[in-house]
Amino acid sequence: MDFTISRHKDIDTSPKTAMRSKSRFRRKDVFGWLLILPSLILFTFYIWEPLLENIRLSFCSAKLYTVTGFAGLDNYKAVIGDVDFMAAFRNTFSYTFWSLVIGFLVPIIMAVLISETVHGKSLFRVGVYFPNIMPTLATIWVWSYFFMPGDTGVLNILLGKLGIAPSQWLNNAHFTIPLIIITMTWKSAGSTALIYMANISGISPDLYEAATIDGASIWQRVAHITVPSIFSIARTMLILQVISVFQIMYEPMIFKNGGPGNASISLMMLMYRYLTRDYNVPKAAALSVLVSIFLVVLSIVYMSLTRDKEDKR
């Protein structure tokens, strides 16, 4: 395990602690490690080992879960050569694009607006957060009936009351991805908005007052005080959003099973297909390694950005 190595490496001792007897420290360290060991075993079993094992599997040939030999890059070649892969690859970027267009600004606008209310503020907070606690599956089923084409689809009923002709919704391949993103935004925007609201309410009132004395209008205050104040958190949320949308899987799977045609299939959904339809474990592993690589790159970008933020403070 890690700690046997790290024990020797670790030289972080403050003057105060160095004065106490060494044996007592050992005991305290051993106790500490014993306490966290069960949790570390769980992390190893559920997260760390599967990640490494996944990489190994992706280079092997296997019959179901039993490894039968070394396959080199064959699995990767098979994945990249797959017609569905190119569609899924393009779509995943399309999902990311639309989620940035639709999903990024909505929570910011929501947060700015709710921050300005004094009546029913807690109702608004609770209301917009509510979709977040609804189970994903239930929301997907509900939205699939909202998007039902024909007169009895819920959105078509509502549009009909406004005198607008019924739409095909998800059956129109051009709209499938943006509409799926709208449902995801509906579900998650409220919780993101709460994070922005916490930041907005942390802005010192003195800033606004000073700006008012200098003659700044309300719009100028928004542009020059509110927006810069949430800029760094917005950057973080942006990257977290990309990371999460890149793994989109259930929504396209249940709404249209990746269709119409291949119009909404995503990378993670393709992985699920390799696993449960083709029973091709190494191919599924290879695809998830490819996705992970991209996400690790994003994570590194995220880490370096947050480090910048800390340096500035």
What residues between 208 and 247 interact with other proteins by CB under 8 A?
A: 208-209, 212, 218, 221-222, 225-226, 233, 236, 243, 246-247
Q: Single out the segment in contact with other proteins by CB under 8 A; choices: 52-60, 84-92, 94-102, 170-178.
A: 52-60
SS3 state of residue 274: helix
Among 75, 115, 241, 266, binds other proteins (CB under 8 A): 115
CB of 198 to other proteins, least distance (A): 4
Give which of 235, 110, 266, 74 is closest to 185, Cα–Cα: 110
Residue 74 beta carbon to other proteins: minimum distance, rounded to whole angstroms: 17
Encoded tokens for 58? 């992706």
User: By CB under 8 A, is residue 308 in contact with other proteins?
Assistant: no
Helix or strand (DSSP H, E) at 252? helix 250-256
Dig out the tokens for 107 from the structure.
């929570």
The residue from 14, 21, 23, 39 that contacts other proteins (CB under 8 A) is 39
Judged by CB under 8 A, the number of residues near other proteins is 115
What is the rounded CA–CA span in Å between residue 270 and residue 253? 9
**Whole-number Å distance between alpha carbons of 241 and 60:** 33
Q: Which stretch binds other proteins (CB under 8 A): 83-91, 96-104, 172-180, 249-257?
A: 249-257
Joined together, the tokens standing for residue 53 give 């094992």
Question: Among all chains, which residue has been given the structure tokens 């709208």?
Answer: 182
- To other proteins, the closest distance from the beta carbon of 10 in angstroms equals 5
- Spatial separation of the C-alpha atoms in residues 196 and 238, rounded to whole Å: 12
Decide if residue 297 touches other proteins (CB under 8 A).
no
CB of 79 to other proteins, least distance (A): 13
